[in-house]
């Protein structure tokens, strides 16, 4: 796996993340389409995800929760807004209450993921758009400390060079 680029647009609250994988598009599509595979990578390392409802079709509803280091659960939901298998999925991702119901259906992160063949491998582009800085903060609260720690450790690596 190679991270090709990662582009942050602070004004538009958008992260564009591009990575390449050594597997054909059909197989990379399966890590999105198969919930048992999806839950192995969706949650941040300290917040593994469990998908309870998974309607992988346009308009489909997805319900999941992530379990934090202290056993606390954070529920989330997706509405899949578009699918073009095996190349494109678009979805809204938001916070849910303990019953799995959306806390605020308008409070969403919109995700667009595209898979393109690249030689014998696949290029995956993920564009995440947040609706507000507050929402970005809540969304990254899980795994955020880890992310910040890693981002800062990179500074340390630079210093040691």
Is residue 143 within the footprint of other proteins (CB under 8 A)? yes
Is residue 41 within the footprint of other proteins (CB under 8 A)? yes
Least Å distance, CB 141 to other proteins, is 8
Choose, by CB under 8 A, the member of 33, 44, 90, 118 that binds other proteins: 44
Of 128, 127, 131, the C-alpha closest to 105 is 131
3: which residues sit within 8 A by CB, 6+ positions away? Answer: 17, 18, 19
Is residue 145 within the footprint of other proteins (CB under 8 A)? yes
Closest CB to other proteins among residues 53, 149: 149
Choose, by CB under 8 A, the member of 90, 93, 107, 146 that binds other proteins: 146
Of 16, 31, 21, 22, the C-alpha closest to 112 is 16
Is residue 103 within the footprint of other proteins (CB under 8 A)? no
Is residue 5 within the footprint of other proteins (CB under 8 A)? no
Q: In what order do the strands lie in the sheet with 14-21?
A: 2-9, 14-21, 121-130, 108-118, 88-96, 73-84, 61-67, 49-54
Task: Classify residue 128 as exposed, middle or buried by CB count within 10 Å of its CB (0-12, 13-18, 19+).
Answer: middle
Q: What 3-state class would DSSP assign to 95?
A: strand
Closest CB to other proteins among residues 99, 155: 155
| Residues of this chain that bind other proteins (CB under 8 A) | 1, 3, 6, 8, 10, 13, 15, 17, 19, 21-23, 27-28, 31, 37, 40-42, 44-45, 124, 126, 128, 133, 136-137, 139-141, 143-156, 159
């Amino acid at each position: 796996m190679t991270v090709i680029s990662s582009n942050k647009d602070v004004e538009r609250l958008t992260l564009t993340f591009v990575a390449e994988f050594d597997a054909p598009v059909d197989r990379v599509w399966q890590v999105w389409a198969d919930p048992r595979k999806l839950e192995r990578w969706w949650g941040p390392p300290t917040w593994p995800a469990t998908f309870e409802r998974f309607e992988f079709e346009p308009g489909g509803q997805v319900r999941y929760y992530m379990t934090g280091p202290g056993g606390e659960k954070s529920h989330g939901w997706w509405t899949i807004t578009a699918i073009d298998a095996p190349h494109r999925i678009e979805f809204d991702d938001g916070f849910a209450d303990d019953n799995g119901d959306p806390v605020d259906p308008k409070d969403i992160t919109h995700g667009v993921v595209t898979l393109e063949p690249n030689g014998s491998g696949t290029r995956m582009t993920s564009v995440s758009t947040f609706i507000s800085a507050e929402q970005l903060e809540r969304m990254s609260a899980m795994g955020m400390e880890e992310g910040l720690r890693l981002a800062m450790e990179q500074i340390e690596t630079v210093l040691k060079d």
